[in-house]
Amino acid sequence: MADANAECNIKVLCRFRPLNESEIVRGDKFIPIFQGEDTVIFGGKAYVFDQVFPTNTTQEQVYNTCAKQIVKDVLGGYNGTIFAYGQTSSGKTHTMEGNLHDPQAMGIMPRIAQDIFEHIFAM
C-alpha cells in the first residue's frame, strides 16, 4: 500500500483569470469562491487542487510556486514537465508566455529560460 504521507510527483494547480471586458459588458458574474490555498467552490461543491491561484496572483508567484523547483530538479538531472490545459481564452498563453517585453508580466517559459541561462553563466 502506498504511503499516504509520501509526496506525489504530479501536482495540479489551478489559476483563475478575472473576467475580461466583454464578459463584464455582458453582465457575467465571477462565481468561484476560494477557500484556503487549495480549494475552490462552484455551486456549493468544493474542488481541491494542490494549489489554487486567484485572479490577483502575479506571474512571478505562479512561477515560484509551480515551476521554479521543477527547473532546479531538471538542472540536477531529473525529468520535468509543465503544461497548461484549459478552454479557449482561459489564460493558458498568458500564464505560459506572458509579455516578453515586461519583466513583471513574463510567463513561465521565459522565466524558465532565464533561470537556465543564469545557471549556465554561474558555472
Residue 81 known to bind ligand: no
Closest C-alpha among 44, 42, 40 to residue 13: 40
Which residues share a beta bridge with 34? Answer: 40
**Strand 45-48 relative to strand 39-42: parallel, antiparallel, unpaired?**
antiparallel
Residue 11 known to bind ligand: no
Residue 93 known to bind ligand: yes
Residue 89 known to bind ligand: yes
Closest C-alpha among 93, 96, 66 to residue 80: 66
Residue 10 — left, alpha, or beta (φ > 0 → left; ψ -120 to 50 → alpha)? beta
CA distance 42 to 88: 20
Residue 22 known to bind ligand: no
- Which residues carry a binding-site annotation for ATP? 86-93
- Which residues carry a binding-site annotation? 86-93
